Amino acid sequence: MDFKRQKAIYIQIADYLLENILAGVLTKGDKVQSVREMAATVQVNPNTVVRSFNYLQDREIIVNQRGIGYFVADDALEKTQALKREIFVQQDLPEVFKMMKLLNMSFEDVQNIYQRQANGASATKKSPD
Amino acid sequence: MDFKRQKAIYIQIADYLLENILAGVLTKGDKVQSVREMAATVQVNPNTVVRSFNYLQDREIIVNQRGIGYFVADDALEKTQALKREIFVQQDLPEVFKMMKLLNMSFEDVQNIYQRQANGASATKKSPD
Amino acid sequence: MDFKRQKAIYIQIADYLLENILAGVLTKGDKVQSVREMAATVQVNPNTVVRSFNYLQDREIIVNQRGIGYFVADDALEKTQALKREIFVQQDLPEVFKMMKLLNMSFEDVQNIYQRQANGASATKKSPD
Amino acid sequence: MDFKRQKAIYIQIADYLLENILAGVLTKGDKVQSVREMAATVQVNPNTVVRSFNYLQDREIIVNQRGIGYFVADDALEKTQALKREIFVQQDLPEVFKMMKLLNMSFEDVQNIYQRQANGASATKKSPD
DNA sequence: GTGGTCTAGACCACC
DNA sequence: GTGGTCTAGACCACA
């Protein structure tokens, strides 16, 4: 797992788990990796993982069973969808629409970019003209 | 001007100017508000405004005429478009596509949200050519 | 039996037994549930129950008859009352008085809350002699 | 400031601030001690103070002005009262009522204890009979 | 084994 | 100056 410099690592770890929940990889009741395991997996200090887990526990996405570990909460999927969708629709999309307007781009343009990026996920470009 | 907690204030001020350039409100040769004026306008420490201006000057969007003030550079519009478009296409849009997939949203859904948000704000246009 | 997150589970189990002693449900000489039974009843690891019993045995509330099980000690009621009363008067009540003051609540307010909570649960009594 | 062993220090620091808010010592808009100041004052590691402040910020009791410090939120008093009152009425008081019943104590008894503790806050006892 | 907390010290971005 | 983050290492309570 490689981290971006701009975002806090503990947030990126939390987001990684949230994405796994959204994608159905983690479902309710599943045990989450232990703090030490996760720390070893992603190569960070255990304290940083603790912080991620606290972050998710505060939001009731995961729950702690004392002495045993963390587990995905029953309504984690719903909570996560609500959380992410809220941010996406209320914050991210308005920004996008604004940029589209400022850059004079249409939905068609955006869809074309999507097509281009979908093909050759690793390749950077594909000349359409 | 109300600032978002997540982004540095000096970046938000710079973005505000960049958007004005993209929108044609500020065009080449225009004088930019003085540091003190701007600081008073947006209610921040003048040092923060200085930082914004340095940021834009580094990218040659604005230029300093010593003792007079900052002015919008001749090719500011082109530079700004290139800068913003790069970030938008290479960083922002991929994130958006990813979120759409995770949230099971189609382009159609996004367009509907756009329509809904357009009512209530200023009307917008999109022309692909 | 549902456990609170804030208190150690083994303490909560011990408290449960102590309350039964105070309420007269368990009296001197009574046999206490076996570790395995208790563990099955309250859905915890047997080790946790062992810990509860050790806790009570240390305080001479219950005694172990090897190979047979645990039994309520002869002076369990007195010991329990002394123990609980000490904690209640010296630690719990001062906290309560402090909170009442900070929240601007009078004894009358508290009694009203008591009345309200009494309806809906089991009826209680209070006799000062 | 002397800390109790049972509760996490960062919680005790947070509670200390909450009590000051309830008591009117800290009111909306007041600047909170900086992390480093507070750490020096209460003799703990700055990280521990950071944790306290995060805890309070999550609950919107204090707000951060970037690069300047933390300030008491506008509705801090209301939030704090709601928070503390909820816990007191829903969790603490029921426990108290339960203990009173188990220990056969009346409200009159409790009020007597209050009187005794009120006189001679430092002295431990005052023989009433 | 599990997580929870605390310390010490460092580096960074921001105002 | 401010807070935010991360690391390293330690100790503890709990199951």
Instruction: Report the alpha-carbon distance of residue B111 to residue D78 in Å, rounded.
Output: 41
| The predicted structure's pLDDT at residue B25 | 95
Beta strand B69-72 with B62-65 is antiparallel
Indicate the helix (H) or strand (E) that contains B65: strand B62-65
CB < 8 Å to A66, chain C: 5, 9
DSSP C65-96: ETTTEEEE-TTHHHHHHHHHHHHIIIIIHHHH
Q: Are D55 and D14 in contact (CB under 8 A)?
A: yes
3-state secondary structure of A71: strand
- pTM (two decimals): 0.88
Averaged pLDDT, D6-34:
96
Say which residue, D121 or B8, is predicted with more confidence.
Answer: B8
Query: Do residue D113 and residue C22 have CB atoms under 8 angstroms apart?
Result: no
Instruction: Report the alpha-carbon distance of residue B14 to residue A69 in Å, rounded.
Output: 45
How far the first Cα of chain C sits from its last, in Å, is: 34
Query: Do residue B9 and residue D66 have CB atoms under 8 angstroms apart?
Result: yes
Q: Are B71 and B31 in contact (CB under 8 A)?
A: yes
Write down the residue that tokens 């090719």 correspond to: B75
Query: Do residue B23 and residue A102 have CB atoms under 8 angstroms apart?
Result: yes
Instruction: Report the alpha-carbon distance of residue C114 to residue C103 in Å, rounded.
Output: 17
Averaged pLDDT, C97-102:
95
Instruction: Report the alpha-carbon distance of residue C49 to residue C45 in Å, rounded.
Output: 7
DSSP at D65: E
Query: Do residue D108 and residue C102 have CB atoms under 8 angstroms apart?
Result: no
Mutate to test the interface with C, among A54, A66, A68, A71 (most CBs of C within 10 A): A66
Q: Are C95 and C102 in contact (CB under 8 A)?
A: no
Separation in Å: E12 C1' and D11 CA: 27
| The predicted structure's pLDDT at residue C122 | 53
Instruction: Report the alpha-carbon distance of residue A11 to residue A123 in Å, rounded.
Output: 28
Size of interface A-C (CB pairs under 8 A): 3
Instruction: Report the alpha-carbon distance of residue A102 to residue B21 in Å, rounded.
Output: 9
| The predicted structure's pLDDT at residue D122 | 52
Instruction: Report the alpha-carbon distance of residue D79 to residue C98 in Å, rounded.
Output: 19
Query: Do residue B9 and residue D64 have CB atoms under 8 angstroms apart?
Result: no
Q: Residue A31 is which amino acid?
A: K
Do chains B and C touch, with touching meaning 3 or more CB–CB pairs less than 8 Å apart? Answer: no
DSSP at B31: B
User: Which residues fall inside 7 Å of strand F, measured at CB?
Assistant: A 8-11, 44-48, 51, 66-68; C 8-11, 44-45, 47-48, 51; D 32, 34-37, 46-47, 50, 53-54, 57, 64, 67-70
**Looking at the partner chain, which of C94, C110, C126 has a beta carbon nearest the beta carbon of D106?**
C126
Instruction: Report the alpha-carbon distance of residue C45 to residue B112 in Å, rounded.
Output: 53
User: Which residues fall inside 7 Å of strand E, measured at CB?
Assistant: A 32, 34-37, 46-47, 50, 53-54, 57, 64, 67-70; B 8-11, 44-45, 47-48, 51; D 8-11, 44-48, 51, 66-68
Q: Are A76 and A83 in contact (CB under 8 A)?
A: no
**pLDDT tens across the length of chain A (129 residues):** 889 998 999 999 999 999 999 999 999 999 999 999 999 999 999 999 999 999 999 999 999 999 999 999 999 999 999 999 999 999 999 999 999 999 999 999 999 999 999 886 655 544 444
Angle between helices A107-118 and B93-102 (to 10 degrees): 80
Q: Which nucleotide is nearest to A64 (CA to C1')?
A: E3
Helix boundaries (H) for B1-129: 9-22, 35-42, 46-58, 76-87, 93-102, 107-118
Averaged pLDDT, B43-57:
94
Dmax (CA) of chain A: 60
CA D67 to chain C, closest CA, distance in angstroms equals 32
F7 nearest neighbour residue (CA to C1')? A45
Strands of chain C, DSSP E:
62-65, 69-72
State pLDDT tens for residues D46-99. Answer: 999 999 999 999 999 999 999 999 999 999 999 999 999 999 999 999 999 999
Taking residue D51's Cβ as centre, other Cβ atoms within 10 Å add up to: 20
Q: Residue D81 is which amino acid?
A: Q
- Residue D8, pLDDT > 80, answer yes
| The predicted structure's pLDDT at residue C78 | 95
CA D116 to chain C, closest CA, distance in angstroms equals 11
**Looking at the partner chain, which of C84, C110, C127 has a beta carbon nearest the beta carbon of D106?**
C127
Q: Using CA of residue B58, residue B62, residue B66, residue B67, what is the dihedral sign?
A: negative
Which of C94, B92, A28 has its CA nearest to residue D113?
Answer: C94
Measured in whole angstroms, the distance separating CA C14 from the mean position of its chain's CA atoms is 7
State pLDDT tens for residues C27-54. Answer: 999 999 999 999 999 999 999 999 999 9
- A123: β partners: none
**b/e map C37-51, b = 16+ CB within 10 Å:** ebbeebebeeebbeb
| Phi/psi of residue A106, nearest 5 degrees | -100, 170
Instruction: Report the alpha-carbon distance of residue C108 to residue C114 in Å, rounded.
Output: 10
Q: Are C39 and C45 in contact (CB under 8 A)?
A: yes
Mutate to test the interface with B, among D60, D66, D68 (most CBs of B within 10 A): D66
- Residue C128, pLDDT > 60, answer no
Instruction: Report the alpha-carbon distance of residue C112 to residue C128 in Å, rounded.
Output: 18
